[in-house]
Amino acid sequence: MISTETTLAGYHFDNCFMNAAGVYCYDAAELNQVQASMAGTFVTKSATVMPRSGNPEPRYQPTRLGSINSMGLPNEGLPYYLDYVSQQQKAVPDKTYFQSITGFNIEEDEQLLAQISASDFKGVVELNLSCPNVPGKPQTGYDFEMVERILTRVFTVYHGPLGVKLPPYFDIVHFDQMAAILNQFPLAFVNSVNSIGNGLKIDVATERVVIKTKHGFGGIGGDYIKPTALANVHAFYQRLNPAIQIIGTGGIKSGQDAFEHILCGASMVQVGTALQKEGPIIFERLTRELQTIMAQKGYTKLSDFRGKLQYLD
Ligand code: ERO
């Protein structure tokens, strides 16, 4: 029997695969589809204090090697998602769900967490520190002092399981510095990576960009970002306190991609661009492919190979 079950933040999940925030999670209709699929759980779209319609269209384009998006945080507002999760908790009480949130400043983060504390939410919070697409708002994860300030406040006001979604880092010194900050806090997990911010896709026939906002600059996902995602997963796996687990996100479109993320140290894997392309049925294929690789290698559970990446020296 080959199992892809996993444990995160003390909760058990039948399958390590789930959606990445932003994909198939805008509303109940989309979340229901993930809930009905083979995914181990779902994460909601990052919720803000007030509902948002997001950036003008076009704002998502698939590309040959992945995707570019400048969604601009369209979401129904936190109360909508808390209501939805509350219904799911009642309907399927043995499952645990993820609520993604993002404030535009520390006060809003605190407000969002106060709303969660006041609700009957029993799951895991994913605090998004890495949205690349709101004009005039920098990616928080690149402001190291701000991350420390936010987490200091967050853990003063919130006591449930909480992790952070980070942008990709590209420098060893940044891995060291960010890990040193994260290690000061009782984080349940770190999710690496969000899309690589501010790429540009060009349509040669029309000589135009393909995304409306910010003159076409948008977050890049898919094949392009897998090596960066794997490096971030492994860099944090090497540096973080073992109590802080890793969620691997970026470029997962096959069982092999998931295997690589887990080998780098991921306890759970999220699927964005490929889920957008194939729909929640993808979780069947991904699970089957991962199980096939595990069978070939004689592994029966994720802990047989999680984090066991080999080096050449
Ligand atoms: O534009 C967005 O809504 C968005 N896109 C991403 O690629 N990552 C995000 O974190 C995000 C908004 C929170």
Minimum-distance ligand 1 atom for the alpha carbon of 221:
7
Nearest to 244 by CA among 178, 299, 197, 305: 178
Nearest to 119 by CA among 164, 78, 76, 75: 78
The CA distances from residue 106 to 112, 147, 235, in Å, are 10, 10, 27
Query: For the chain, where are the E strands, in sequence order?
Result: 6-8, 11-13, 17-19, 60-63, 66-69, 98-101, 124-128, 162-166, 189-192, 196-200, 202-203, 208-209, 217-222, 245-249, 266-271
Ligand 1, atom 8, lies closest to the CA of 131
Determine if ligand 1 sits within 6 Å of the CB of residue 48.
no
CB 43 within 8 A of CB 19: yes
Give the pLDDT score at 185.
99
Determine if ligand 1 sits within 6 Å of the CB of residue 44.
no
Angle, CA of 299, 288 and 251, to the nearest 5°: 95
Query: pLDDT tens digit string along 207-257?
Result: 999 999 999 999 999 999 999 999 999 999 999 999 999 999 999 999 999
Q: Give the Cα separation of 19 and 39 in Å (integer).
A: 7
Minimum-distance ligand 1 atom for the alpha carbon of 131:
10
Say how many Å lie between the CA of residue 132 and the centre of ligand 1.
6
131 belongs to the catalytic site:
yes
The CA distances from residue 102 to 49, 219, 272, in Å, are 8, 17, 18
Say how many Å lie between the CA of residue 68 and the centre of ligand 1.
10
Q: Give the Cα separation of 298 and 300 in Å (integer).
A: 7
Q: Which of 16, 25, 131, 264 is catalytic?
A: 131
Minimum-distance ligand 1 atom for the alpha carbon of 55:
1
Q: Give the Cα separation of 216 and 207 in Å (integer).
A: 12
Give the pLDDT score at 67.
98
Which two three-digit tokens encode residue 104?
């535009």
DSSP bridge partners of 67: 62, 221
Q: Give the Cα separation of 35 and 150 in Å (integer).
A: 31
Give the pLDDT score at 136.
85
Other C-beta atoms closer than 10 Å to the C-beta of 173 total: 8
Determine if ligand 1 sits within 6 Å of the CB of residue 73.
yes
Determine if ligand 1 sits within 6 Å of the CB of residue 276.
no
Say how many Å lie between the CA of residue 1 and the centre of ligand 1.
38
- Peptide bond before residue 193 is cis, with ω within 30 degrees of 0: yes
Say how many Å lie between the CA of residue 77 and the centre of ligand 1.
15
Determine if ligand 1 sits within 6 Å of the CB of residue 100.
no
Residue ranges, the chain, pLDDT below 70: none
